[in-house]
Amino acid sequence: MGTNNIRHVAIIMDGNGRWAQGRGHVRIWGHVRGSSVVSSIVEEAQANNLEALTLYAFSTENWSRPFSEVKVLFRLLKKFLLKERKKILQNKIRFKVIGDTADLPEETKCLIDSLTQETSNFKGLKLTFAFGYGGRSEILHSVNKFITDNPGVKLGEKDLWQNLFAPELPEVDLLIRTGGDQRVSNFLLWQIAYAELFFTKTQWPEFKREEFCQILDFVSNRERRFGATTSYSCLNETKVLAEKNRQIIHDHLGTI
């Protein structure tokens, strides 16, 4: 089986600081080196015909890091936007940033807004950066927005999804975390409910496109059952089957 059953990959790009410290450098050097990896992984996502790639660049918890490190992360985001803009436009990539970007420099916010608007109708890879992002905050935002817009109305799953930061994205099929830690760290908590999880010890600055492809191939061969007893291509298929079986059981409850 190829990778055509994987539509949306999310990556926690971890291990930059430890990679640098292990080589006698300050943590900041790892972020600089790690930023150069992003472009090659985006290219490989396109080559594998992924629909979406979401990258965890800066979490709400990362504000606790030293100011010098946070400042570098801000600068690297700006550098990426300037350096990759032409390539994003040429490849018809749909670019978006999710999270709280209020404290970013005005110039960077303008670059984000400009690129987001220019690519909003593109049909290529949906490239999303999670910056100033937290999964719990996103869910709370969605719930509160729905309650405000629909007072007194009961909230459903579809309603919550439609009020997420990027409702146009499909559910996450595969979550990759580099750096060796095995946790999801408040990333896309609603969207990864049925995602396959892959944890690699490779630190982000050393994460190569070859390993990315190997992970895609490996995970695409896993049997994904979504709570059923046989393989299905997506969660919606099993939801339809579950509702059908539930109705059958309900109709025959008295005979069981």
pLDDT in tens, the chain (256 residues): 345 689 999 999 999 999 999 999 999 999 999 999 999 999 999 999 999 999 999 888 888 888 888 888 999 999 999 999 999 999 999 999 999 999 999 999 999 999 999 999 999 999 999 999 999 999 999 999 999 999 999 999 999 999 999 999 999 999 999 999 999 999 999 999 999 999 999 999 999 999 999 999 999 998 765 555 665 566 676 556 556 666 666 577 666 5
Residue 247's pLDDT is what? 63
Is residue 100 flagged as an active site residue? no
DSSP string covering the chain, please? --STT--EEEEE---HHHHHHTTT--HHHHHHHHHHHHHHHHHHHHHTT-SEEEEEEEEGGGGGS-HHHHHHHHHHHHHHHHHHHHHHHHTT-EEEEES--TTS-HHHHHHHHHHHHHTTT--S-EEEEEEEE-HHHHHHHHHHHHHHHSTTPPP-HHHHHHTSS-TTSPPPSEEEE-SS----TTSSTTTTTT-EEEE-SS-GGG--HHHHHHHHHHHHTS---TTSSS--SSHHHHHHHHHHHHHHHHHTGGG-
Is residue 103 flagged as an active site residue? no
| CA count, 13 A, side-chain hemisphere, 23 | 14
Contact 40, 215 (CB under 8 A): no
List the catalytic residue out of 16, 48, 62, 149. Answer: 62
List the catalytic residue out of 4, 5, 14, 49. Answer: 14
Residue 67's pLDDT is what? 84
Residue 2's pLDDT is what? 41
Cα angle 231, 232, 237 (rounded to 5 degrees) comes to: 145
User: d(Cα 200, Cα 135) in Å, to the nearest integer?
Assistant: 22
CA dihedral 185→55→207→195, nearest 10 degrees, is 60
